[in-house]
A and B are shown apart, each in its own frame.
Chain A
Amino acid sequence: MLETLRLRYFQGNQFIKDIENAPMRKQFRGFPVLNPNEDASACEGVCPTGALNLNPLSIDMGKCTFCGACARACKAVEFTNGYKLASTDREKLVVTPDMTYEDYQKTAVEVRDEIHRIFGHSLKLRQVSAAGCNGCEMELNACSNVNFDMGRFGIDFVASPRHADGIVITGPISENMAYALEDCYKSTPDPKIVILCGACAISGGVFQNAGKLNREFLEKYPIDLYIPGCPVHPLTFINAVLSFIKK
């Protein structure tokens, strides 16, 4: 017992106090900025998911794996360490030249009164890994560890869809998970939200041309929040949900 308490002493406090303004290491590849004055021709064909479009120049964060291949190939693309990447609108994930990180954040998440009223103080989520590679899953688990401590905001992952206010989907949605995913969605009581987490869930990512996917779910049901990343960083996820449920 005393030894366990001794561990506590050495451990100190680990949590990040101000999640919304938490500093991010400069090496992190987050929000991309495009410079149309630079020659982008060297970037042709380097993007593994087709997120980077050269004519006209744009980058789709819904497809981007933030691998940095384009930024290494030419000067037209540069990744900042901006980690607030989420949007309520699929179209807005497409970054165009001269769009700054600050501009993007102003309009990316549309705040809705009813969301705040219903989920503002407590949001319980059921996560469904639909062929997710365990990258996003591990980062979502990390959201609840002592560093990020998402639970302090009333946001938690729960075991049953019956207890949930919404579902978080990771992975490109395989044929073999399509039924279970839809079943889980139907088992979640109304009103409910759907969050797509990571490049695979949003666009199929590197698996967009894989033969064993079934992404019909996304056409059938409304999606409330898109969170880009590969995998999604815990700070990206927590800030995305906070900005979505706040006033």
Chain B
Amino acid sequence: MNWIITENNKPINLYDIPCLNINDLRSEIINLDKRVVGFFGQKVSDGVKLFVVMADDSEGKLYVSSAHFASGEKSYESLTQTIPAFHMFEREFFEDFGIEPLHHPWLKPVRDHKKEYPFFEIEGEEIHQVGVGPIHAGVIEPGHFRFMCNGEKVYDLEIRLGYQSRGVEELFISSPSNQLAESVCGDSVIAYNLAYSKAIEALEGIEVSNRAQIIRTIALEMERAAIHIGDLGAIAGDTAYLMGASIFGATRTLVINTMLEICGSRFGRGLITVGGVNYDIDEELSAGMLKTFDKVVKDVKRTTETMLKSPTVISRLERTGVVSQEQAKSLGLVGMAAKASGIGLDTRFDFPDKWYAEFEDKKFKATGDVYSRTRVRYKEIMQSFHIIRKLLAKLPEYKNEPLCVSQNAKSADKFVVSMTEGWRGEVIHTVITDNNGNISRYKIKDPSFNNWYGLAIAVRNNGISDFPLCNKSFNLSYCGNDL
């Protein structure tokens, strides 16, 4: 066998992973025809080991394999030329380990700022460049956008990131903690902390109580709903529909203040810990939450429906920033952005745990434009509150279960993939332990890592003034990408 098959949060023995020659692994990957979710290296005593994780979304299985590069081997034939979805993964692998994917069409830095960045340039009398960032006009994270324009029209956008690079993966090896996981990407606190906690629990064989699992799932859905509501407000603001911007802003406050009532932080910091949760949702709080969320659902519904009836809004959203289904598939977009282009990837339903198994993801009529990404958010807000209501009703059944169970022993030489569906899409933490059971490699893949290139494609042939709108409709993470 050239692959070992596993599942989400199911550890495998490190030495059970097949180790092939890179050329064999390359043809295996092409023949397997699955979706790449992990492609990263680890330094070993005699060179570099490359791990590959491929997802079978219809079966809920993960395929893992590896290849070994001896110290002298410095290149291989790139996969990107055959499967474009590998482009970011191969660039990252090259930057981290200096092993070059030959004939890669776009081998540019990912996070490294040591050399000058080779921007793609279009020349011509009518062509001009617009550079934006790293510091943007609003209060957001840093990144640089370089537009090649002919008049108002954007011919090409190149996005240079890496400004946020802190060295997070190394910190997970030297001092892993829930607080660190929460701070990797501060708008997806719950998703990141959940991915980290589940990975560690899987490695240490900890069984989290049903009660804690329900509270975690409720928090994850609250995070999703809150961000989507805020982003609907941002989209409203960018189309100059200020009533929407104000109302969605205030409605989001209701959701995150409820989070504060649960755990003392508006973003859910401190709620989740390895082994369970730190805070409970008692009956009184549960009743209050239901009441608040009823109001939130009513407000969101009324405002979105009114907003999407307004011709001034619709004319800005429809056919703006289109990513076709074909493009989305070949570039390997994930999560919400992929759904808006008609690719139904969602690890909640593709790799379900027992809480999500009973829910079904309804079909969505995708058009790939900003309008579609707006509708996806609206749909997901409603879906999240539906899930929250059902789960809150289940909570009393597990009243006597503990919130948190203590930690077990570490397990040596393991490999585990932990996928959690954050509001942007799949947050994937892959953890490898050494022969003492300590973390020897921690790999994070944010959905933005796949989707940034989707934004660049979306703005092509659009007016440059529509860029902020396209950007808000994706709302990608800089620090999740830069780590």
**B: number of interface residues (CB 8 Å):** 60
Q: Mark B151-187, 1 if CB is under 8 A from A, else 0.
A: 0000000000011111110110011011110011111
Q: Flag whether A111 is at the interface (Cβ < 8 A).
A: no
Instruction: Tell me which residues across on chain B come within 8 A of A4, comparing CB atoms.
Output: 243, 306, 310
- Contact (Cβ within 8 A) B166 A209: no
Instruction: Give Cα A175 to B111, complex, Å.
Output: 11
Known contacts: A72-B278, A131-B479, A175-B113. The answer to whether A138 contacts B166 by CB under 8 A is: no
Given known contacts A131-B165, A137-B140, A27 and B243 CB-to-CB distance under 8 angstroms:
no
Q: For residues 251 through 306 of chain B, which have their beta carbon under 8 Å from a beta carbon of chain A?
A: 253, 257, 260-267, 269-270, 278, 299, 302-303, 306
Cβ-defined contact, B250 with A132, below 8 A: no
How many A-B residue pairs lie within 8 Å, measured between CB atoms? 182
Q: Which of B135, B243, B310 interacts with A8 by CB under 8 Å?
A: B243
- Residue in contact with A207 in the complex, picked from B183, B264, B266, B267, CB distance below 8 Å: B183
CB distance B249 to A177 under 8 Å?
no
| Residue-wise interface mask of A (128-149) relative to B, using a CB-CB cutoff of 8 A (1 in contact, 0 not) | 1111111111111110011100
Partner of B139, one of A28, A72, A129: A129
Quick check: is B124 within 8 A (CB to CB) of the other chain? no
Q: Are B253 and A135 in contact (CB under 8 A)?
A: no
B477 within 8 A of partner (CB)? yes
Query: Number of A residues whose C-beta is below 8 Å from B?
Result: 64
Enumerate chain A residues within 8 angstroms of B187, measured Cβ to Cβ. 133-135, 138
Do the beta carbons of B142 and A129 come within 8 Å of each other?
A: yes
Is the Cβ of A133 less than 8 Å from the Cβ of B264?
no
Question: Within the complex, which residue of A3, A69, A129 is in contact with B140, where a contact is CB–CB below 8 Å?
Answer: A129
Q: Is B137 an interface residue (CB 8 A)?
A: yes
Q: Quick one: given A28-B260, A138-B186, are A157 and B139 in contact (CB under 8 Å)?
A: yes
A176-B246 contact, Cβ under 8 Å, with A10-B299, A213-B166: no
B265 to chain A, nearest CB (A): 7
**Which residues between 11 and 40 of chain A lie within 8 Å of chain B, taking CB atoms?**
11, 14, 25, 27-29
Contacts of B309 in A (CB 8 A): 3
Please, which residues of chain B bring their CB within 8 A of the CB of A7?
243, 247, 302-303, 306
**Which B-chain residue is minimally distant from A81 (CB atoms)?**
B264
Q: CA A158 – CA B256 in complex, angstroms? A: 26
Q: Assuming A7-B243, A147-B253, is B167 touching A27 (CB within 8 A)?
A: no
Given A27-B261, A231-B267: A177 in contact with B142 (beta carbons within 8 A): yes
Question: A residues within 8 A CB of B166?
Answer: 131, 172, 174, 207, 210, 212-213
Query: Once the chains are docked, how many angstroms separate the CA of A25 from the CA of B250?
Result: 17
A174 & B164 in contact (Cβ 8 Å cutoff): yes
Residues B260 and A27 in contact, CB atoms below 8 Å apart? yes
B183 and A10 contacting across the interface, CB-CB below 8 Å: no
Highest count of chain A CB atoms <10 Å: which of B135, B168, B174: B135
**4 closest A-B pairs by CB:** A135-B186, A133-B186, A159-B137, A145-B249
